């Protein structure tokens, strides 16, 4: 499927579910539909709420460089 076909499928509110190994892996929707979709409260805050933050200042030694 090329981009032109994909655009045609999602043009009027359509959605394309991409399935891999019998499981849905992602959904393609128009940008307008994406912007209008509700965002779960947990999605925006859960990552930050679970992280522990330190007041300690980071240095170059903290970077994962080899």
Per-residue pLDDT of the chain (66 residues; tens, 9 = 90+): 788 888 888 888 888 898 999 999 988 988 888 888 877 666 555 555 555 666 677 777 777 765
Q: Based on the structure, what is the number of domains in the chain?
A: 1
Enter the DSSP assignment of 3.
Answer: H
In a domain, 63, yes or no: no
Please tell me whether the overall predicted TM-score, pTM, comes out greater than 0.75 for this model: no
Domain encompassing residue 9: 3-50
Identify which of 17, 19, 11, 15 has the alpha carbon closest to the alpha carbon of residue 29. 15
């Amino acid at each position: 499927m090329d981009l032109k076909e994909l655009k045609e499928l999602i043009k009027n509110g359509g959605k394309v579910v991409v399935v891999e190994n019998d499981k849905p892996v992602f959904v393609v929707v128009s940008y307008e539909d994406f912007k209008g979709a509700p965002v779960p409260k947990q999605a925006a805050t859960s990552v930050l709420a679970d992280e522990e933050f330190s007041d300690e200042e980071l240095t170059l030694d903290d970077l994962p460089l080899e």
